[in-house]
Structure 1
Amino acid sequence: MSSKQLLRFDLFSKTVEDSKIKTTSGGLITISCIVSVLLLLLNEFREYSKVVTLPELVIDRDSSSTMELHFDISFPNLPCDLITLDIMDISGDLQTDIMKSGFVQMRLDKEGEVLGKEQLTMNLDLDELSRTQDPNVCGSCYGALSQEDNDNKPVEERVCCNTCEAVRQAYAHTAWAFYDGANIEQCENEGYVARINERLNEGCRVIGNAEINRIAGNLHFSPGASLTQPDKHVHDLSLYDKHRDLFNFDHIINHFSFGGDLVSQAPLDGKTTHVGNKYHLFSYFVKVIGTRSESLDGRVVESNQYSSTYHDRPLKGGRDDDHPNTIHARGGIPGLFFHFDISPLKIINREQYAKTWSSFLLGACSAAGGVLTIGAVLDRTIWTADRIIRSKKDL
């Protein structure tokens, strides 16, 4: 191809040097274009350097795993010795009285100040609490458990209640009212009865972690030892009912999260209720969704997010005082319930740069070209207008 043929494809026609005219307006426009291009290039670089998080919704394939529940809840009008914590799920798994599984309990006075702190140890099962290795010691279960023919049984098979806790659980197993353990020798000797009655006007703050299955279920705080049978789950309310002018489940949720929330404050943190009704049921319906965060440095964090809905009602049922058209159900047990449902979906948050290198180059070229094109049009317009004005003046 000859040089003459290449001239046809030259889109960048050259202006003869002698015919170029420099003007003041052209200089100002040039400076403005340079400043504008630099600002736009700087903005493009900031966009290129910016890290954004893009969410993606996928099916949760970790539904068979467990997750941790972290909570810190205060009960201003309920002593620690009266609170029982149980966890149930729809698979049939049940964790009862887990307050004695490493939880921290802080005794509170009426002003909310800490009176004492207790680290509860793992609770033994009923058989372990009822047996003894000492053949000369076998405490009475007061008829709650059969102790017939104990003398003819090996030591490891004898049924004995040597501690107050053993008697308490034996009563719960038989669904008997335990009250404060008065007149039970083991409880009197251990100081349990005196301790319970001294702390009736105290509050309690419970802090701990629990492991739950990733399926629907509930966690509830209720008074007294629990009893579970195939068709029901009940609590011993004898001590709770004994003092008509004491106790209620008003509460403050200091913290409540599932498996390492990414946010510093979870949705229920700081939730406070002051109903003042002894026989009242507080319920939170929590929807949990798994969340995974993938950072640019390859770090992966598994966590959970949740939303919640709150409802409370008196156990006596009947019409709502504030909304007469609403009729509450009757029955139940006083307590604080968290009903949790696990979403089958999962959110994946991936960090990435807002723009790729090619996008940055394209944006930079577009910015520079656009500014220079507008500057050329503006310069040509001003130059033409100036010439027209000058020609009219000459006339």
Structure 2
Amino acid sequence: MGRRKGRPGAQAAPNGLRGASLPGGGRRAARAGGGRRGRGGRRRCWQPAGTHAAPRPTWPAALPPSATAAARCPLTSGEPRFVDPTPADRFDIYRKVPKDLTQPTYTGAIISICCCLFILFLFLSELTGFITTEIVNELYVDDPDKDSGGKIDVSLNISLPNLHCELVGLDIQDEMGRHEVGHIDNSMKIPLNNGAGCRFEGQFSINKVPGNFHVSTHSATAQPQNPDMTHIIHKLSFGDTLQVQNVHGAFNALGGADRLTSNPLASHDYILKIVPTVYEDKSGKQRYSYQYTVANKEYVAYSHTGRIIPAIWFRYDLSPITVKYTERRQPLYRFITTICAIIGGTFTVAGILDSCIFTASEAWKKIQLGKMH
């Protein structure tokens, strides 16, 4: 007396859930995976053993089908809850594996650390490449600066330490018939060595046809007997000045040319091949400049009347090929794609490596156990 017997055919509750009280009366067996469904197909919840003092959970009077798992199965805090998947959950391709079904290993920890370091290295490398601006160059046949009116701006800075400033002049001539002696517009002469020498700085324009400009004494009122044409070229550039770090072009190929040890009475010929150059930044703004190659020779010229007055000649010709530099940055979608490939590929390879090592280790243990038995 005093102890009520259970229903005939009742089964024992799972381990750790003995003595659990179920709504609806009686003790029922829990089905693997979260208990047994009661009448009406509703899932029952087990109350763990040893919790008889706690108030018995009761079902709410009316719960909507969309009620949360916690509301449908009000277990004590920290207890596992077994809920039915919603229709949307069935589309989850990233199924979760309980931690109780996984086994960490020392080898796996080492591989994981190496994997994370490798991913970090590749990520930083890709991030640096994404931030850095790439310079792409291309060649084509065209006149890029059509709005220049067929002119090219020239900047010349040259020192003649043994020739007076009143004797120094600039002459320009080309195949279009231009012949200008003693060009003085936008030019400046600076005395050197207490007036014994001269530094000539000039800004002028030339036509886009073969021609030459030369520094000489041709414009002087009185020609010297022995003009000394030794010189240093500080700068000779065409078009806009480009100061771009990643572009290493010959925009000032003659800059720093030193001819102080040459024959004072010799003429100097610099033969230039000018190459049009376009630089386009990330905003689409274009700047037009010119690179050039140079060859030079030094000689003392004579004619039937005697020695010819020496000069410093710059003979130029234009190339039909245009060089274009364009600033480009890697697109964001390509950066994201690369990062995803790095992370996914690294984890996949590391997982395969870890599985192989773990399988080999387990096989070796079995072999050792077989030898011991």
What TM-score comes out, normalization by structure 1 length?
0.61
Identity across matched positions, percent: 28
Deviation at 1:351, TM superposition (A): 0.9
Q: What is aligned with 2:239?
A: 259
Letter in 1 for 2:236: F
C-alpha RMSD of matched pairs (Å): 2.9
Shift of 1:339: 0.5
Matching of residue 68 in structure 1 with residue 48 in structure 2: no
Tell me the CA shift for residue 392 of structure 1: 3.1
For 1:245-394, list aligned pairs within 5 A.
246-263=226-243, 266-316=252-302, 332-353=308-329, 355-394=330-369
CA contact 2:172–2:181 (8 Å) conserved in 1 = yes
Partner of residue 52, structure 1: 134
In 2, Cα distance between the equivalents of 1:225 and 1:44? Answer: 61
Is the CA contact 1:293–1:301 (under 8 Å) kept in the aligned structure 2? yes
- The answer on whether the counterparts of 1:73 and 1:205 sit within 8 Å (CA) in structure 2 is yes
Q: Tell me what 1:92 maps to.
A: 177
Amino acid at match of 1:35: L
Q: Deviations over 1:155-184 (max 9, x none)?
A: xxxxxxxxxxxxxxxxxxxxxxxxxxxxxx
Counterpart check, 1:239 vs 2:223? yes
Cα shift at 1:332? 4.9
Alpha-carbon distance between aligned partners in 2 of 1:278 and 1:375, rounded to the nearest angstrom: 74
Normalized per residue, the structure richer in helix is 1
Higher relative contact order (CA 8 A, sep 6+): 1
3-state secondary structure, aligned to 1:240: coil
Taking the aligned partners of 1:269 and 1:55, their CA distance within structure 2 comes to 24
Q: Give the total of aligned pairs.
A: 269
Quickly say closer, same or farther: Cα 1:90–1:372, change in 2 above 3 A.
same
- Shift in Å, 1:17: 6.9
Change (3 A) 1:279 1:385: same
Counterpart for residue 108 of structure 1: 192
Structure 1 residue identity aligned to 2:161:
P
Q: Tell me which residue corresponds to 2:119.
A: 37
Query: Residue 103 of structure 1 aligns to which amino acid in structure 2?
Result: S
**2: CA distance, partners of 1:297 / 1:62:** 18
- Residue 203 (structure 1) aligned to one of 174, 191, 197: 197
Corresponding residue of 2:71: none
Tell me which residue corresponds to 2:68. none
TM-score (norm 2): 0.65
The code of the aligned residue for 2:143 comes to D
Native 8 Å contact 2:227 2:265 kept in 1: no
Deviation at 1:224, TM superposition (A): 3.3
Q: CA deviation at 1:11?
A: 9.2
CA shift at 1:297, angstroms? 2.7
Task: Note the C-alpha offset of 1:371.
Answer: 0.7
Q: Is the 8 A contact 2:182 2:218 kept in 1?
A: no
Larger gyration radius, structure 1 or structure 2: 2
- Once the two structures are superposed, the pairs formed by residues 105-144 of structure 1 within 5 Å of their partners are 105-109=189-193, 115=195
Determine if contact 1:224/1:240 at 8 Å carries over to the other structure.
Answer: no
Task: Give the unaligned 5+ runs of structure 1.
Answer: 1-9, 116-201, 227-235, 318-329
In structure 2, the gaps of 5 or more residues are 1-91, 245-250
Deviation at 1:15, TM superposition (A): 7.1
